Structure 1
Amino acid sequence: MLIFCVFFEAFIRTLIAFLSSPPLLCSEQPIFSTRAHVFQIDPNTKKNWVPTSKHAVTVSYFFDSTRNVYRIISLDGSKAIINSTVTPNMTFTKTSQKFGQWADSRANTVYGLGFSSESHLSKFAEKFAEFKEAARLAKEKSQEKTELTSTPSQESAPGDLQSPLTSESINGTDEDRVIANTPKHTEARAEPSQNALPFSHSSSSINKHWEAELAALKGNNAKLTAALLESTANVKQWKQQLGAYQEEAERLHKRVTELECVSGQTTVIKSQKTELNRTIEELELALKAKEEELERLKAEVESANEFRFQKDSLTQKLKESESRNLTLEAQLSDLEQRLESSQLEREAYRKSLRSLLELLDSKIFELTELRDTLAKLLEGS
């Protein structure tokens, strides 16, 4: 029963948060968009991921200028599958090279995003950290404003000290207690101390106000120092990422050179195929010539029955031609096998070339995205 109450309370909070913040407001503007597969943690097991979109959808950061709030929103058709407000307590975690997740306590769930490349994941994580820091600064500014409005004014009227609703008038101040406990002959000296009471309280309130201001300035100074250190660390991290991107670009250039060398080998294969075709044609012509010679020899044998000696010699020639025919047929079959093997090798080379071309296209696309990312980083810096 207790578990049911907890889940029901979380459901009511989620419903109130959803109703109080609709998916898109007029004051919200998209500031960053990407495409990813959206997942949510299974509410029953809290371990398995449940896909909420059948394909990659657009995931966008929105900024509400009226409330100074950042939100992550994703729509699958007309259905909002992500409606998460970025808070300073959130943390975006990279669980793999192309997958990241964060927990939303208001929605009582954990969101997961699967990206097509590691660069998209890194860009989304950078934006998450940036907007999280902006949300933290906005929250601190609002807290400072509330603290300034809640602090007492520098000047308080003397009559406020005599108000029946103050703690001093109810419990009595220290000086009133001293006066109450003193003998009656000191009543003449109590009057000047009561006249000096408003000034002492006003000066103490002024001191407290300036101490609060000094503490707030110290806190702001510490926050600015921390932000400066964090920005320096981010610059170092960006430099490391730039170096990694340059190494990757060099590796891709080497790969392109290797692919060009492989494509150059295809011309050699084509020339070998052309030579084999010419050899086959020559052998076919020779075979036809030998067949014609065989027919001629057969005709001579039929017409020279009375010439036994000539017949024997012609028979010997016939046997020799038949043996040569067999050798030619063997050569022809060998050449046919070589032709078939060359055709198979050609098909294999075509398949390998196609796969290499597809790989080259994907790498060129990644290089293009890398160039755009570097250009944006240079423009941003």
Structure 2
Amino acid sequence: MTASSASMGEQPIFSTKAHVFHIDPKTKRSWIPASSQAVSVSFFYDSSRNLYRIISVEGTKAVINSTITPNMTFTKTSQKFGQWSDIRANTVYGLGFGSEPDLNKFIEKFQEVKEATRLAAQKAGNNGVAAVRPPEGGEAGGGDPTALHGGGSPKHQQAAAKASLPQTTAEAQLRYENDRLKLALAQSSANAKKWEVELQTLKNNNGRLTCALQESTANVEEWKRQLQALKEENATIRGRMLDLEAGSAPDAQELRRELATLRSRAELLDRENKQKDKELEALKRKLEDQTPGKADERLKALLSENEALKSAAQRLQDQLCATQGRQAAWEQLAQRIAHRLHDLRDLQHELAALLSAS
């Protein structure tokens, strides 16, 4: 069946519009567009050979010329795409429809024609005569079709001649199964590539999360060093407070400045601690989504250390408050001593005046 035979007055028993694809004959893994746009795909009954064909023509080129056999299977691979294998043409056809109902109608007609072909083949096996009749109720024309003419290229005539040769059922079934296995292998290879990409993406995400965890661990170590430095400064301030009994005003002023600096640093550390808490929570959620193994244990340990740092910071804050209270007491004591010294100076002046008067 060629493009010319489909245009010489033969009426299809069913027609629809679809984009036509052929499987890549080299790789068997990808589709090659056979039509530049949606074209008419029709079922024809070849009365001269008593068989059915699926034919689609774009311009002068026949993009589909498939003889339907009882062993053919049309597979719906998505909502708008389906495919079938033609052993005699040694290819796999794919059709992309505009909507799912169009695909379902095509599948129904395919099954109907396939069943008619099977019954005709069974009857021919019993009677020795092939008598195939087209199913009634075709969409694009209900009359009896005329004989389809075989004009066209020698390649198409050669394919039609091969299709008419007798073939055992076992050989046809083996070829059909072999073609199905090739198609399944192509789909499996495509899925394997997709899985490889997803696996690599997961590895990259895991690597980024691991780097973030290491950075957070380094930050915790830095917090520990800062806390130790604050503890040492606090001990130094305690010692200097003990030496404050001399009541030196410059020393008290310097102590107040150091206390203000220490308080500012403690507040800054507390803000940084809260910010890191948020980052650690976000990191924990990401790690739970990716790899909840050793990374989760390390994160728990990191959270425990963070809680310990919080407790240490709180103790330091309490110590600061206590130091501030003691500073206020020392300042009051210094003021009292200053008043006493002032009173002593006044007494000294009065005694000197009395001694000079006598």
Which TM-score tier does this pair reach, normalised by the shorter chain?
A: 0.3 to 0.5
TM norm structure 1: 0.35
- Relative contact order (C-alpha < 8 Å, sep 6+): which is higher? 2
Of Structure 1 and Structure 2, the greater helix share is in 1
